Structure 1
Amino acid sequence: MATIHEVLDIERIENDIFRGSTPDSFLQRTFGGQVAAQSLVAAVRTVDSGYVVHSLHGYFIRPGKPEIPTVYLVDRIRDGRSFATRRVTGVQDGKVIFFMSASFHVQDAGPEHQDEMPAVPYPEDLPDPVALEGSMAAWHAREWPDWDFRQIPAASVDKRPGVAAQQQIWIRYRHALPTDPIFHVCVLTYLSDMTLLGSARVPHASGPHTQGASLDHALWFLRPFRADEWLLYDQTSPSAGFGRAFTQGRIFDRAGNLVAAVTQEGLMRYERPPADRR
């Protein structure tokens, strides 16, 4: 399978127009994290080095085809003294499959606070999913062998009162990555789409089979981090209904720093009979 370097390798084909790579995949649709990460790489390449991306908001419009490269069109919405804004549109076969807005900031000084990291087992005390045949973690290891997932057992999850659905996962890239902080931000964008929608299925694990897909995705980068070091992905799903599930994630580094926050709405509906599918 492709390395994260190959996934994030995009080609400039014209001013503010880029073409993404097509890494090998077992998935029937282009992985949403790949499209979001490649979109961010395209946006970053149009912004001066003094600005750092602090947030992105994206919508998945159509399912992408993994074997077809996605072309990314970047619009330079604003270049201000403190903030810059970019809009990126991902296109396949002449149709929009994804669009995203990304905001960049020069990083000012200001007050600081953050939530505490949940008390959870260390990743070294949890099994490597490669050894867990037949599990969802093992499936993730098959599609993403360069990623190390360590899911915290339900009995060990640091549960908060009144939370409807929750799961916690340690995750890191298995191999050393470049020191460039922007590269790690793009890598985190890729991984942020992994496993998050699964938090909505936790209360319904024994129910009927459901279909799932990312619908929209928002990500805030709060503090520096490295994606090749352990990150705790603390995930919740406050609500599900009408065929959609709303999910949230907080990402902490090993030292307990809150480095990113994620929200996502995804499709979660009962599987339709073949006669009802279009």
Structure 2
Amino acid sequence: MPMVNFPPTFQHPLIASSYTLLATLNNSCKSQPLLVYFEPCVETSPYAKIRPYIYRLDVTRVSLLTGLHYQLNRDTLIRIRIESLTSTALSVSLKQHLNIVSEHTETIVVASVTGHDEILELRIPDTIELPTVTDSRRFGITYKLHVSTKRRYGPIFIARKLFEVPITVGTLPHGTGVPTDLLSYSDDAVALNMTTRAKPKLSKSSSRRNSLDHDTLPVYDEFRPPGYSPRASFVVSSFPTIYHESYHVQ
């Protein structure tokens, strides 16, 4: 795969992003399309160490001990500490905000917890499969942590919103930056580039080029890359025999 941040695998009634791999050998042995899950490189945090987030209001102090940055499918808990002189129940919810072409918006509560404990733990569910997406022209995905309190005044409870803060959900480990040569698929240089810098290509093989018993196919001529289109196209193989390959890219 080239150094391009393609959109993540995503399914929605209004928009979808999917990838399939189709292989054909000598136009006689054709594989079934294989769905490929793609996860882009999204920076989680520029810092390797966790930096807590602290909110203060009157006699209430709320600390997000695990900070504002979380790695997808790696970090599973958001730990919150509450310090208050009054009888206060803390309500915390993690919300996913989806924006499609600036015309359709959705907000989903993906996790929530309420309690009087000094430290609350909000578990990030495994169903979250999408990182924070902000560089797409078609859709955007952001996360926010909503924190409110419920205070008792006599026989009744009054809810009060304390704060709402953006949460970053990345795919790279904490302290790991995005490669400097990584390009966004929405970049014009990628859309207009038909070379192997912006399109998938075959990997070079360390085995003998005239043998079919190696793990990877030989690389195409760098000056004559294959064509890529929604339909399968045939190109002359690098094998010395008459084998052909076709690639189906969606």
Question: What TM-score do the two structures reach when normalised by structure 1?
Answer: 0.22
Q: Structure 1 or 2: larger helix share?
A: 1
Question: Bigger radius of gyration, 1 or 2?
Answer: 2
Question: What TM-score do the two structures reach when normalised by structure 2?
Answer: 0.24
